[in-house]
């Protein structure tokens, strides 16, 4: 089941100036959004979405995408609405809107887990996955045979 899950502010938001869309910096009611193709149940009241954080001194582009850590958010789901399409022809089987209230907690930062690439990362395309595996082997061979460069 393909789900589009939107976490949105409900009611007054004391920190509205701090919540901006990353790509445009425009203010938004949306806290975060997720695309979920798993069989996991949808979030329920009390659930806290994850907040992703980049700790610049610990960022290594070979290991991390943008975020180096995550934690439970200060936003807590207070109610959930679901919508299903009239005709199951689109991309999503279910659209979920999770309305959230600001309820700060002192959640610890957790390091992001190592990336896990599988055939699912290629939408089930086994051939594309095998090509990627081969490219990784070639990169490893090149890097192990290349001399190290040092700069003064």
Q: Quote the pTM value.
A: 0.68
Closest CA to 83 of 75, 67, 94: 94
CA distance 104 to 74: 4
Question: For 11-57, how does the pLDDT look when each residue is reduced to its tens digit (9 = 90+)?
Answer: 776 666 667 766 787 888 888 898 988 889 999 999 999 988 877 77
Question: For 101-150, how does the pLDDT look when each residue is reduced to its tens digit (9 = 90+)?
Answer: 988 899 888 887 777 778 877 877 889 888 888 887 776 666 555 554 44
Are the CB atoms for 75 and 107 separated by under 8 Å? no
CA distance 119 to 104: 38
């Amino acid at each position: 089941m393909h789900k589009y899950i939107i976490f949105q502010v409900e009611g007054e938001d004391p920190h509205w100036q701090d919540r901006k869309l990353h790509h445009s910096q425009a203010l938004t009611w949306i806290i975060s959004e997720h695309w979920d193709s798993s069989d996991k149940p949808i979030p329920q009241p009390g659930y806290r979405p994850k907040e992703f954080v980049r700790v610049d001194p610990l960022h290594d582009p070979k290991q991390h995408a943008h975020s180096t850590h995550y934690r439970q958010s200060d936003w807590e789901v207070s109610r959930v609405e679901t919508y299903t399409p009239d005709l199951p022809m689109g991309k999503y089987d279910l659209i979920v809107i999770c309305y959230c209230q600001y309820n700060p907690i002192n959640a610890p930062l957790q390091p992001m887990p190592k990336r896990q690439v599988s055939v699912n990362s290629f939408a089930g395309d086994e051939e594309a996955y095998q090509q990627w595996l081969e490219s990784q082997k070639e990169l490893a061979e090149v890097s192990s045979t290349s001399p190290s460069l040092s700069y003064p």
